Amino acid sequence: MPPGPRSSGPVPPRSRNATPGDPRLSNELAGLRFAGAVPLDPKPAPTRPSTGAVGARAAQSDKGSPAQPVVVDVSEATFATEVLQRSMQTPVVVDFWAEWCGPCKQLSPILERLAETDGGRWTLAKIDVDANPQLAQAAGVQGIPAVKAIIGGRIIGEFTGALPEREVRAWLDQLLALVDEASAGLPGGPDPAVSDPHHTAAEDALARGDLDAAAAAYRARLAETPGDSDAALGLSRVELFQRVATIDATALRTRLSADPDNVEAAIMLADVLVAKGEVETGLARLVSVVRRTSGDERERVRAHLVGLFQALGDAEPAVGPARRALAAALF
User: Lowest mean pLDDT: which of 4-13, 170-179, 223-232?
Assistant: 4-13
Q: Please, is 53 exposed, middle or buried when counting C-beta atoms within 10 Å of its C-beta (0-12, 13-18, 19+)?
A: exposed
pLDDT tens per residue, range 273-289: 888 888 899 999 999 99
Catalytic sites, residue numbers: 101, 104
Greater pLDDT, 38 or 169: 169
Q: Are the C-beta atoms of residues 42 and 100 closer than 8 Å to each other?
A: yes
Which pLDDT value is given to residue 186? 40
pLDDT tens per residue, range 99-150: 999 999 999 999 999 999 998 899 999 999 999 988 888 777 888 999 999 8
Separation between Cα atoms, residue 234 and residue 70, nearest integer Å: 25
- Report the half-sphere exposure of 284 (CA within 13 A, side-chain side): 6
Indicate the pLDDT class of residue 175, thresholds 50, 70 and 90.
Answer: confident
Identify the structural domains of the chain with CATH numbers, from first to last. Answer: 4-183 (3.40.30.10), 192-244 (no CATH), 249-330 (1.25.40.10)
| Distance linking the first and last C-alpha atoms of the chain | 31
Q: Are the C-beta atoms of residues 205 and 15 closer than 8 Å to each other?
A: no
Q: Report which DSSP code applies to 53.
A: S
Which pTM does this prediction carry? Answer: 0.48
Mean pLDDT on 298-304: 91
pLDDT tens per residue, range 193-225: 446 888 888 888 887 878 899 999 999 999 998
CB atoms within 10 A of CB 170: 12
Indicate the pLDDT class of residue 63, thresholds 50, 70 and 90.
Answer: very low
Report the share of the chain in percent with pLDDT over 70.
74
Q: Report which DSSP code applies to 83.
A: I
CB atoms within 10 A of CB 202: 30
Q: Report which DSSP code applies to 63.
A: T
Q: Are the C-beta atoms of residues 20 and 324 closer than 8 Å to each other?
A: no
Q: Which of 268, 305, 242 is nearest to 85 (CA)?
A: 242
Q: Which of 172, 156, 68, 85 is nearest to 120 (CA)?
A: 68
User: How many helices (H) and strands (E) are present in the chain, helices listed first?
Assistant: 14, 9
Pairing type for strands 143-144 and 38-39 reads: antiparallel
Strand residues in 153-252 grouped as ranges (E): 154-160
Distances (CA, A) of 160 to 36, 39, 79: 7, 11, 20
